[in-house]
Structure 1
Amino acid sequence: MREILLLGQQGQVAWELQVALATLGRVTVWGSQELDLADPDRIRDRLRALEPQIIVNAAAYTAVDKAEQEPALCQAINATAPGVIAELAREFGALLVHYSTEYVFDGTKTSPYLETDTPNPLGVYGASKLAGEQAIIQAGCAHLILRTTWVYGNRGKNFLLTILRLAAERPELKIVADQVGAPTWSKSIAMATSQILARCGDRDPATISGIYNLSAAGKTSWHGFASEIVDRYRTQFPDRALQVTDIVPIPASDYPTPAQRPAYSVLDNSKVLATFGVQLPDWDLSLGQLFARW
């Protein structure tokens, strides 16, 4: 039975991975209590003691705005730590699965981003995630870097839960309408990761190592996503009152944040489909599935 190490116990994707990876081997889960990713020496000691065959790194510094005030910590967790993990993976022949983000791009394209497009992050968070990708590649281990976008779920901190909380408190919500992306359910990411690993089989890691986009199909704006969340919640739970009566579209310029967001966050997923036969559903279909299982 393969030894799988999952990093990131409480994160949205990590939570779903604990179930999704169970069919592939014996899963050891380490959260921040078990492993401080800002401590490279601790990473080395703990991973060498375990020597897993597969490492799935779903841990990250994800506070995009706070990162502008904590660049060193963000860099340590998102860039330095993945590089150290990758070096260890090469040392004992493990496969590293690592999650990245569309924030490595500046969002100036008007067509879906390919893995080969030139990155140009707009803030500290995106720059740290790009540095993490580069560190993994430079380490030379077998790796799958999975870029995703607009991740949400029914636990943790994410746009969906924020909208439902605000919709229960306020009659009007003002939501950015000129940023476009593909909301991606954390459960879909976890299930796709499991499928990808299952289909790696005995294939030469050198032939499959690389960056892969892994996001939901379709696209919408934050305003469109918020409107769909409220509509589906009301349909699914007609007896649970929401206060909101109006969801107003606004430009991003009316909602300034410490970190600038990409205006266009849609990813082209054709590479992961061609390589592993994996394709995530359309974003609104996944949203419906989430509410059906709530």
Structure 2
Amino acid sequence: MKNKGIIYGLSAYILWGLITLYWKLITGVSPLETMCYRIIWSFVFMIIFLVLSGNWPQFTKELKRLWEHKNYLALMAVAALLISINWFTFIFTVSAGHVMEVSLGYYINPLVNVLLATLVLKERLSRSGQIACGFVVIGVVLLSIQTGNIPYSSLILAFSFSIYGLIKKRIPISSMTGLTVETFVMLPFSLLYILLASPAGFMHYPLHTNILLMGAGVVTAIPLLLFAEAAKRTSYITLGFIQYVNPTMMLLFAVFLFHETYSLAQFTAFGFIWLGIVVFTYGTTRSAMKTKKLIQ
């Protein structure tokens, strides 16, 4: 069972890494329009999936719970906006040829989670967490000095996804219902943009481009569903190790496939970030093992 969870987790993070290549295949479509199609087809795919998988009764039950608690509905609307910002930033940054910035965003994302938990949930930041966050700040500052620009895309990706995750923890629904509701919230805005503002109109692209745009719903939903299964079957610590597969794949794509500039100075900056990750992972693992021994 545990090994199955690891396989699900690895599959999810590998697919999230490969999505970088998927957006590169879509040419001649603006990032905003691509995001709108991603929302539209993700919603369509999720409705089909819920019906065919037999999860429709669970979906309707969770919808009723959301309707009974209006504060959950408000949080879902905020979550939908945040994930849309995350998706747009991802697609825009990849399309602009800055895959390395995307990689950086997902490297620092776990540490941003810890930072937000400390600031918002008033959780105590461990010694290793403090050191790790310090190393990451040094790395980001070094990158900003070397490139002459603050890595806004990386920070938007990390913080939007972290705040999104923080909000989702407060809403007692499954990831299937969550994605369906989030895409439904943004669906009217996406349709309005496509129908009224898109220069090409609805799906008026070459056949291969239309197929890729429709497939955006599939490549969005499948990794999320795999991750949900992984989270049920394996430990949080194990998933903590696996999550770095995604940004590592992106970094390798950026350097060896897309030939983005990767100087010694940038390597040094990333080195501080990797050092922060090592310290954080070591501290988290050690703490979990101590807790396990106390329980036993």
TM surpasses 0.5: no
Q: Which has the higher strand share?
A: 1
- What's the TM-score, normalizing by structure 2? 0.28
Higher relative contact order (CA 8 A, sep 6+): 2
Q: Which has the higher helix share?
A: 2
